[in-house]
Amino acid sequence: MLTSYDDFPIHQACVPIAHSATPDLNHFDRYFFNGYAADGSLYFGLAMGLYPNRHVVDASFSVVRDGEQISAFASARAPQDRRDATTVGPIRVEVVEPLRVHRLHVDAPDHGLRAELMFTADSEAIEEPHFFQRVGVRVLFDYTRLTQFGTWSGWVEIDGVRIEIGSLGITGSRDRSWGVRPVGEPAPSGAPVAMPQFYWLWAPVNFPDFATHFDVNEYGDGRRWHEVGAIAGHHGPADMMRTVDYRITWQPGTRHAAAFEYDLVSWSGAVATVTLEPIFNFQMSGIGYGHPEWNHGSWRGEAVTGGQRLALPVADPLSRENVHVQTLCRATYRDTTGRTATGTGILELLCVGEHPTGLTGILDGYQPQ
């Protein structure tokens, strides 16, 4: 099947662009954006994904304001031509300048949300190390992600009230990921080979003149299978770290952080430490992650939209759809040269199963010893 992009020299496989290089149903191609005010008065997130082997595309936009999280969802049949794949119902992502400027359009007044937002990068895009994990002999993760920091302009409208964000100093981050990871309707997987387990911490943070990035994936016994650390100056290449470390204090009865600190260890051995102080949790189910109805990649019909409102904090933080959060945090930076800074960022947590930091069971809440 030939489409317009086949006329450009961008092929990565010996098939037309409309065909994935892998037959895996879990192949995906995703956009993610977030933005936040330093005082926590406004937070928004957008997710958009294409699942070519499932013939599905979906998107969602969610805003936290005054203790309420409001979401709009859209899902549709994936278009044949990739140039049309960044519009899903009332939500559109526009790449104005690749790896630099993106525009988001949301027109979902029936669900209380409209927005015209522009993300302008303050840093170069950081290519994270490739994600690859097997469960038994089956490939579970095989994908690439980039992370980038920036500032926002434009407006958000909530229930007819427009908020001009230019004066609010809204910063944030975006990521792009593509490859294979579990999406869509669960498929039979044969004989069980492991207990459910996934431990992921992801913490991009904005400071006035630079940004820091941290990520770890670990097995249930604490062995690490993926990590990244970086310090990204404005408009320059990121300084990639040799390794990272962290310290977490769990909020009792949950799998969310009460306090968090991470170390970025450079190749010279110098250490920069970022301390995070939680403000509130943004529920990732509000943009489809783990949502019982609007999860990513599931077929819902030719063109379907919906909405949701949540009071924060949620009543049941240990339910499957609520355990995955982005915690908005105040941040403090210090390093061995004496440099200090204050900023704002997020700590994303998705922690399922046991872990040596004190987690037991599959979704049991942390209990202090």
- pLDDT of 243 > 90? The answer is yes
Is 364 inside a domain boundary? no
pLDDT given at position 186: 84
Q: Which domain holds residue 32?
A: 28-184+194-352
How far lies 224's CA from each of 133, 143, 255, 273, in Å?
Answer: 11, 17, 19, 20
Q: Mean pLDDT, the chain, as a whole number?
A: 96
pLDDT given at position 107: 98
pLDDT given at position 1: 86
Question: CA 293 to CA 185: how far, in whole Å?
Answer: 11
- pLDDT of 218 > 90? The answer is yes
Burial call 258-282: b when 16+ CB within 10 Å, e when fewer: eebebbbebeeeeebbbbbebbbbb
Is 43 inside a domain boundary? yes
Q: Which of 44, 217, 10, 197 is nearest to 132 (CA)?
A: 217
pLDDT given at position 3: 85
Burial call 296-323: b when 16+ CB within 10 Å, e when fewer: bbbbbeeeebbbbebeeebeebbeebbb
pLDDT given at position 244: 98
Q: Which of 290, 303, 288, 294 is nearest to 84 (CA)?
A: 303
Is 17 inside a domain boundary? no
pLDDT given at position 7: 81
Is 365 inside a domain boundary? no
Which tens digit of pLDDT belongs to each residue from 39-85?
Answer: 999 999 999 999 999 999 999 999 999 999 999 999 999 999 998 99
Is 45 inside a domain boundary? yes
Mean pLDDT of 271-291: 98
- 95-99, 197-201, 233-237, 360-364: which has the minimum mean pLDDT? 233-237
Mean pLDDT of 308-320: 97
The answer to pTM > 0.75 is yes
Which tens digit of pLDDT belongs to each residue from 256-266?
Answer: 999 999 999 99
Q: Which of 214, 199, 234 is nearest to 124 (CA)?
A: 234
| Residue with the larger pLDDT of the pair 347 and 8 | 347
Mean pLDDT of 151-169: 96
- pLDDT of 279 > 90? The answer is yes
| Residue with the larger pLDDT of the pair 188 and 253 | 253
How far lies 15's CA from each of 141, 210, 355, in Å?
Answer: 23, 41, 43
- pLDDT of 5 > 90? The answer is no
Which tens digit of pLDDT belongs to each residue from 179-194?
Answer: 999 999 987 888 988 8
Is 304 inside a domain boundary? yes
pLDDT given at position 10: 84
Q: Binning pLDDT at 50, 70 and 90, where does residue 8 land?
A: confident
pLDDT given at position 13: 86
- pLDDT of 6 > 90? The answer is no
Q: Binning pLDDT at 50, 70 and 90, where does residue 241 land?
A: very high
β 325-335/340-352 pair status: antiparallel
Mean pLDDT of 8-19: 87
Indicate the residue type of 326: Q
pLDDT given at position 363: 97
Is 4 inside a domain boundary? no
Is 110 inside a domain boundary? yes
Mean pLDDT of 231-247: 94
Which tens digit of pLDDT belongs to each residue from 109-124?
Answer: 999 999 999 999 999 9
CATH classification of the domain holding 53:
2.40.370.10
For the chain, the domain total comes to: 1
Question: CA 1 to CA 16: how far, in whole Å?
Answer: 6
